[in-house]
Structures are given as structure tokens and as C-alpha cells.
């Protein structure tokens, strides 16, 4: 009987030791999983912040390009108007010398003014179109960068969660 009781006591001691090790391993696996999820969340936060910064920079650059293009278009229009004014002044001077010369000069001045205005308008249209295209491209690139960064962060989070789940399964 004494041997039986001693055997049962030894078996109970082995079982208790085994349960403590299993609980310790489960706790370590849970801590590892928590750390993996926290690391993935930090990576997601950092990637998202970088994507937002890249988008902001791209939008700022596009806005600067648009501002510069609009300023250039305004300068070109002002120069064209000055040219038209000068041409009209020349036409008036020529009209004082001779009626026929005045008609020709006025016609030429009107055509020059029309051409200069059309050129200025076309330049302004081109500059505005280029600015819009640059803004669209910058916004598209920024959106794609943000999308890629978010997808990478999501993939990293999924991988970390899967690795943690595998480790937990493996440890049990």
C-alpha cells in the first residue's frame, strides 16, 4: 500500500510539473503573439504616415507647379496686351501721315493684337492644362503610394498574425 501511495504521489508531481510548463509555454506564445501584433501595428502606422507625407508633398509640388504656370500665363498675357497697345499706337501715328497708310497699319495692328491675344490665350490654356495634368499625376501617384504602403502594412500584419497563430498551434 505504501508503494502505491508513493507511486500516486510521484505521478501527481509529474503531472503538476507538466501542467506548469504547458501554462508557461502558452503564456510565452501569447506574449510573442501580442508582440508580433504590436510590431505589425507600428509598421502599419509608420507606413501610413509615410504615405500621407508623400501625398502631401506631391500635392504641394503640384500646387507650386500650378501657381508657377498660372503666373507665367498672366505674364505672357500682359506682354501680349502691351504689344497690342504698342501696335495700336503705331497705327494711330501712321494714320496722321496718310489715310491709306493708316488703314493698312490699323489692319496690321488689329491682326497683330488678335494673334498676340490668341497666342496668349493658347499659352494660358496650355499652361493650365499642363498644371492640371501635373496635379492629376501627382495626386494619382500619391494615392498609389498610399495604397501600396497600406497594402504592405496589411500584408505585414496578416503575416505576423499567421506566424503568431502557427507558433501558438505549434506550442500546444
Distance CA 31, CA 164 (A): 10
**Cα distance from N-terminal residue to C-terminal residue, the chain:** 36
Structure confidence by residue, pLDDT tens digits, 49-69:
776 677 677 778 777 777 887
Domain boundaries, the chain: 2-171
Record the pTM: 0.34
Distance CA 102, CA 84 (A): 16
Residue 98: phi and psi, rounded to 5, are -160, 140
Structure confidence by residue, pLDDT tens digits, 113-145:
788 788 878 887 887 788 778 778 877 887 788
How many CA atoms are closer than 13 Å to the CA of 160, on its beta-carbon side? 21
CB 41 within 8 A of CB 161: no
- State residue 77's pLDDT score: 72
Amino acid at each position: 500500500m505504501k508503494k502505491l501511495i508513493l507511486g500516486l504521489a510521484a505521478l501527481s508531481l509529474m503531472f503538476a510539473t507538466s501542467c506548469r510548463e504547458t501554462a508557461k509555454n502558452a503564456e510565452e506564445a501569447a506574449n510573442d503573439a501580442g508582440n508580433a501584433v504590436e510590431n505589425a501595428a507600428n509598421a502599419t502606422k509608420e507606413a501610413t504616415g509615410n504615405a500621407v507625407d508623400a501625398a502631401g508633398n506631391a500635392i504641394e509640388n503640384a500646387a507650386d507647379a500650378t501657381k508657377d504656370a498660372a503666373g507665367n500665363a498672366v505674364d505672357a498675357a500682359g506682354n501680349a496686351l502691351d504689344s497690342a497697345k504698342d501696335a495700336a499706337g503705331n497705327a494711330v501715328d501712321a494714320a496722321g501721315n496718310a489715310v491709306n497708310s493708316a488703314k493698312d497699319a490699323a489692319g496690321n495692328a488689329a491682326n497683330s493684337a488678335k494673334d498676340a491675344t490668341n497666342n496668349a490665350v493658347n499659352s494660358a490654356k496650355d499652361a493650365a492644362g499642363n498644371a492640371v495634368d501635373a496635379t492629376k499625376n501627382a495626386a494619382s501617384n500619391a494615392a498609389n503610394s498610399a495604397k501600396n504602403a497600406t497594402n504592405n502594412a496589411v500584408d505585414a500584419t496578416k503575416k505576423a498574425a499567421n506566424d503568431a497563430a502557427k507558433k501558438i498551434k505549434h506550442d500546444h
